[in-house]
């Protein structure tokens, strides 16, 4: 995906008809493979039609790379089969866990400790060996940080670097966590391993109170998140960026407006060199 012009959209069944009937399409689309694997007939035909319009990448929900139970090896092989069938180059997942003996349908936080880094890195290596490709992991929104011994930025960076995998940097999640945990969103962006960022996510959220945001993907992207995306382009370079919208689906034109805003920002910063972080506590994105 070309960083300057790559603007993607999370594909949802609610607007597939509008997507297929549109004159202009996103540069790429993203689906959760769990929602499409094993389906034939009409569903498979619809997905094939969508892939003809825009290249497909996958963003999984059920890997549970940080979970306490053994990895589901059969499931990983099913993922590989799906990726190969649709010639999907990118498979991303969440740096969290979703299985505690049964699927929890939520993204639970991993304790941010050195022991957890080692544990998760070993599991990522297993997944990558089976898939025959690098896994791309997303920083997740959290509402608790159980037994944390290190910062979220340090934890994410250590996992990504030691596992030799790639990062899906979710800009909205960075902002949500900065409010929920009174953290510095801009310092988090600076601390990320920039050369390992494969692509970005951006989305809307719900403000429950002044110090609690819920990552719903059910609203327009707000101004502080747009500002953080601009900052990300400045310090990390322009990266392929995908808009997520899962609930309260707006009109197709409204989705296009947000996609166009991403594209405008990408072009604005595409000819600008990445900025050297100026935080007094960071040098090349690493704490000193």
Question: What per-residue confidence (pLDDT) applies to 273?
Answer: 60
* Spatial distance between the Cα atoms of 111 and 66, rounded to a whole number of angstroms: 9
In a domain, 200, yes or no: yes
Question: What per-residue confidence (pLDDT) applies to 280?
Answer: 37
73: enclosing H helix or E strand: helix 73-85
In a domain, 279, yes or no: no
- Tokens 């607007």: give the residue: 15
In a domain, 288, yes or no: no
> Do residues 77 and 105 touch, judged by C-beta distance below 8 A?
no
The candidate with the shortest Cα–Cα distance to 231, out of 268, 258, 203, 206, is 268
pLDDT in tens, 13-51: 999 999 999 999 999 999 999 999 988 889 999 999 999
Question: What per-residue confidence (pLDDT) applies to 286?
Answer: 36
The tens-digit pLDDT sequence of the chain (288 residues) is 665 569 999 999 999 999 999 999 999 999 999 999 988 889 999 999 999 999 999 999 999 999 888 999 999 999 999 999 999 999 999 998 774 544 445 567 788 999 999 999 999 999 999 999 999 999 999 888 878 899 999 999 999 999 999 999 999 999 999 999 999 999 999 999 999 999 999 999 998 999 989 999 999 999 999 999 999 999 999 999 999 999 999 999 999 999 999 999 999 998 776 554 444 333 333 333
Question: What per-residue confidence (pLDDT) applies to 274?
Answer: 54
Q: Cα–chain-centroid distance for residue 283?
A: 25
Question: What per-residue confidence (pLDDT) applies to 5?
Answer: 64
Q: Give the pair of three-digit tokens for residue 218.
A: 């059910």
Residue numbers of the domain that contains 51: 7-274
DSSP 93-129: EESSEEESSSEEEEEEPPP-SHHHHHHHHHHHHHHHH
The candidate with the shortest Cα–Cα distance to 157, out of 194, 119, 183, 198, is 194
In a domain, 1, yes or no: no
> Do residues 202 and 242 touch, judged by C-beta distance below 8 A?
yes
pLDDT in tens, 95-112: 987 745 444 455 677 889
**Residues comprising the chain, all counted:** 288
Question: What per-residue confidence (pLDDT) applies to 102?
Answer: 46
In a domain, 285, yes or no: no
Q: For residue 107, what is the domain's CATH number? A: 3.20.20.150
Residues 6+ apart with CB under 8 A from 202: 170, 171, 172, 221, 225, 229, 241, 242, 243, 244, 262
The candidate with the shortest Cα–Cα distance to 27, out of 71, 57, 58, 65, is 57
> Do residues 137 and 159 touch, judged by C-beta distance below 8 A?
yes
In a domain, 283, yes or no: no
As for how many domains the chain has, the answer is 1
Give the strand pairing for 103-108 and 97-99. Answer: antiparallel
Give the strand pairing for 28-31 and 7-10. Answer: parallel
DSSP state, residue 285: T
In a domain, 287, yes or no: no
* Spatial distance between the Cα atoms of 273 and 279, rounded to a whole number of angstroms: 18
In a domain, 25, yes or no: yes
* Spatial distance between the Cα atoms of 78 and 84, rounded to a whole number of angstroms: 10
């Amino acid at each position: 995906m070309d960083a300057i012009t790559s603007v993607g959209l999370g594909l949802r069944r609610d607007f597939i008809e509008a997507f297929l009937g549109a004159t202009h399409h996103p540069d790429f689309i993203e689906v959760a493979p769990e929602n499409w694997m094993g389906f034939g007939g009409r569903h498979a035909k619809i997905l094939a039609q969508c892939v003809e319009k825009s290249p497909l990448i996958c963003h999984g929900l059920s890997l549970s790379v940080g979970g306490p139970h053994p990895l589901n090896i059969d499931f990983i092989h099913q993922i590989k089969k799906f990726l190969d069938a649709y010639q999907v180059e990118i498979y991303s997942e969440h740096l969290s866990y979703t299985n505690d003996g049964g699927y929890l349908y939520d993204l639970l936080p991993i304790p941010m400790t050195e022991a957890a880094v080692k544990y998760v890195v070993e599991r990522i290596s297993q997944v990558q060996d089976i898939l025959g490709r690098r896994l791309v992991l997303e920083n997740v929104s959290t509402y608790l940080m159980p037994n944390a011994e290190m910062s979220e930025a340090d934890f994410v960076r250590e996992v990504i670097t030691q596992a030799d995998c790639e990062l899906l940097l979710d800009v909205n999640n960075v902002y949500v966590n900065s409010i929920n945990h009174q953290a510095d969103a801009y310092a988090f962006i600076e601390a990320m391993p920039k050369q390992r960022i494969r692509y970005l996510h951006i989305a809307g959220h719900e403000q429950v109170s002044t110090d609690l945001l819920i990552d719903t993907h059910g609203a327009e992207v707000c101004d502080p998140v747009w500002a953080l995306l601009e900052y990300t382009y400045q310090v990390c370079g322009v990266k392929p960026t995908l808009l997520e919208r899962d609930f309260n689906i707006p009109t197709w034109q409204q989705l296009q407006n947000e996609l166009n805003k991403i594209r405008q920002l990408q072009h604005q910063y595409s000819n600008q060199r990445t900025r050297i972080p100026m935080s007094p506590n960071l040098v090349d994105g690493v704490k000193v």
